[in-house]
Chain A
Amino acid sequence: MSGQPGEHTDPAVAFEAAKLGVWTFLATEVLLFGALFTAYTVFRIKYPEMFRAEHAKLDRVLGAVNTVVLITSSLMVVLGVDAIKRGKARLLEAYFGATILLAAVFLLVKYTEYTAKFHHGLYPDTNIFFSLYYMMTGLHGIHVLLGMGVLSYVIVLSRRGRLSEAWCTPAEMSGLYWHFVDLVWIYLFPLLYLIG
């Protein structure tokens, strides 16, 4: 997703281009989730009682734990980008590795949540609320997976010595993307788990 610099462009132009490219990409992501948030709004207005009754079936503690996990992972990304800007490639790899680890924890918690719901007979076709729950958190989960891939790629680049304080665009861009993934969850958590 973070573009390669063209054969002929100089690093400054390549950085500017990559930045605009990633922000534009994030705009498309907002629209992608936007449709689901619209569906949420429509059905919440239509069935307020159902949302009140069903949201209580979600595990707030696990949801809160995951929120903390993701916010911490965003902090790790920031520290990683800061490290490479000071030329410390090993430190970047450590921080991004920690981010990936936290992302894995997030998915693990999500997995236990899904399993518990299945045990109680709550599936995507149970009702509109759980349709929304599975579609929204599922699409978000896919984004977490993709983000783990992107961050791993940046680590590989760094291991090969391709990143430095002069050229750290891939690290910055993957960081932007990760913050977005984090931000989506910041909205999903209260909308699904907290508001009754």
Chain B
Amino acid sequence: MTGVGQPETERNGRGYLAERGWRSWAFTLDHKRIGAMYLWTTTFFFLVGGVFALLLRLELLSPQARYFGNHAYNVFFTLHGSMMIFLFIIPAIPSGLGNFFIPLHIGARDVAFPRLNLASYWVFAAGFLVIIGSLVAPMDTGWTFYTPYSAKSAAAVTTLSLGIFLIGMSSILTGLNFIVTIHKLRAPGMTWHRLPLFIWGMYSTSIIQVIATPVVGVTFLLLAAERIFGVGFFDPSKGGDPVLFQHFFWFYSHPVVYVMILPAMGIVSEVIPVFSRKPIFGYTAIAYSSMAIALGGFLVWGHHMFTSGMSPLANTIFSLMTFFVAVPTAVKVFNWTATLYRGSITFEAPMLYALTFIFLFIVGGLTGPFLGALATNVQLHDTYFVVAHFHYTMMGGTVMGFFAGLHYWFPKMTGRMLNEKVARAAWALIFVGFNVTFFTMFIVGVRGMPRRYAEYLPKFQVENVISTIGSAVLALGILVMCWNLLQGLRKGAPAPANPWRALSLEWKAASPPETENFHEIPVVTEWPYGYGTTKA
């Protein structure tokens, strides 16, 4: 910890990045460096998962399994799903951007438990190493690991379960750290109602992580015990119940979609007012709706299981609760739209991604109730409609929010500006490619094309070819974006402390911030959204 308490002027303006060498990263206790390590790791797995997606699209060019065969196809969609969910979407925003910006946002020098923070990164690393190890006999169960197949499959289910258990542990430790940080380390004057909305999103996320993840952890332990000791909780031949596995799995995996989306919603709530130069509309409603989603999200897991043979009463209750949980989500969308109304909007890359989030998330969100309603669910269950729906929410929502955050905070994290023109071009490719890829899936889904098969009826071929072309455009856009980010990192123009004229605390720190974030802990006197008033 060199530099603590020293004058910071002679560090070449490299801030927390001044120290060099792998030790300065591997053993760092600095939340910013740990956040950066998460960002690099998760982005890597995003690209790997993307390659698997492209292979799937390639296979789907023809109605017969022409390129890989059925088993390879099953392996690819399992790896695509598991990597994207467990190694990218769940950790990317909370552990990456959250780690970096929670202390900066609340005016703290670090998270509450810096050592635990570092430990959670290395537990995460151990987890993904084990997952990579499981590739010796790659998984073919889909990312949901449903029993009884997963209990019998010859693939390395036990190893992968252990890997995901470790990833989950890391997720719990991070969430716990954030909860304590937000409760105990806020700067003087930073009351709950002066917190940036990103913090409200992250706080709700952390609650879900802490409450839901242990359940999936023990579920994977039981699955492993089923394979190793012959325990029979999920095995009907031993008196067990495979649907119990589904209940356990979705008790975690439904709330966890809010782990994926709430931080992205937090980013959008930051970006929209900055680039509209208007105070956020309905601060309290947005903040509390995050909490409502976090708590309500625990009561709807059954809607993934309408066709599993639950009682009609349970189905009806889960369906009803699903409609309720859509309400706080809609509250947010209305508030963002009201914030935009009569604002002085500019379309820098972060804003473009934030607006894309709203647009795509509305499509993804509105197709949710189709699946939450019992009658339509029976028709649409396990069709491409489901695939389209969750890619609109997860990729159109979370990933766009993540990109918005990356572009918005890039100057703060690296001390350099991005090439705005290239960033916008990449955005255009991503936007077009995404919609071409996934909107066609709604259409074939409604017409009855089932998901998770390498082969399909010839009547769906035109749409599938269109979708594959779209995926190529999308991939090109993401490549251009990555290239632009790397170029910016290497030789972008030096960034000022506050390039977007934003009011939240992280912009009061240097770009990039010093190791201890602030020379003096700031005293907060008002909320961070006073745009368009006398100050900004």
Contact = CB atoms under 8 A, between A and B. Distances in A.
9 contacts: A13-B185, A27-B210, A28-B176, A34-B215, A43-B239, A124-B229, A125-B238, A128-B233, A131-B233
Contact of B176 (A21, A31, A42, A125): A21
A43 B217 CA distance: 20
Contact of A39 (B1, B211, B244): B244
A31 B215 CA distance: 6
B509 to A, nearest CB: 15
Interface stretch (A1-9, A78-86, A148-156, A181-189): A1-9
A21 B239 contact: no
Contacts of A36: 218
A167 to B, nearest CB: 16
Interface string A119-135: 00001110110011011
Contacts of A21: 112-113, 116, 176-177, 180
Contact of A32 (B115, B180, B217): B217
B4 interface: yes
B66 interface: no
A20 B219 CA distance: 26
B225 A35 contact: no
B214 interface: yes
B382 interface: no
B110 A7 contact: yes
A127 B211 contact: no
A16 B230 contact: no
B219 A3 contact: no
Given A124-B231, A125-B229, A28 B180 contact: no
Given A20-B179, A32-B218, A135-B231, A8 B240 contact: no
A134 B230 CA distance: 12
Contacts of B219: 35
Contact of B214 (A4, A29, A46): A29
A111 interface: no
Contacts of A118: none
Does more than half of chain B's interface fall in helix, strand or loop, or is it mixed? helix
Contacts of A4: 113-116
Interface residues of A, number: 39
Contacts of B230: 123-125
A42 B217 contact: no
Interface in B209-267: 210-215, 217-219, 221-222, 225, 229-233, 238-241, 244, 248, 251
A24 interface: yes
A124 B232 CA distance: 8
B205 to A, nearest CB: 14
A94 interface: no
A17 B172 CA distance: 16
B214 A28 contact: yes
A6 B109 contact: yes
Given A42-B241, A127-B238, A134-B229, A35 B248 contact: yes
Contacts of B218: 32-33, 35-36, 139
A9 B181 CA distance: 11
A139 B225 CA distance: 11
A127 B231 CA distance: 8
B342 interface: no
B180 A24 contact: yes
A31 B214 contact: yes
B113 A6 contact: yes
B4 A135 contact: no
A120 B315 CA distance: 44
Contacts of A3: 112-113, 115-116, 177, 180
A6 B112 contact: yes
Contacts of B110: 6-8
Contacts of B233: 39, 43, 128, 131-132
B197 to A, nearest CB: 22
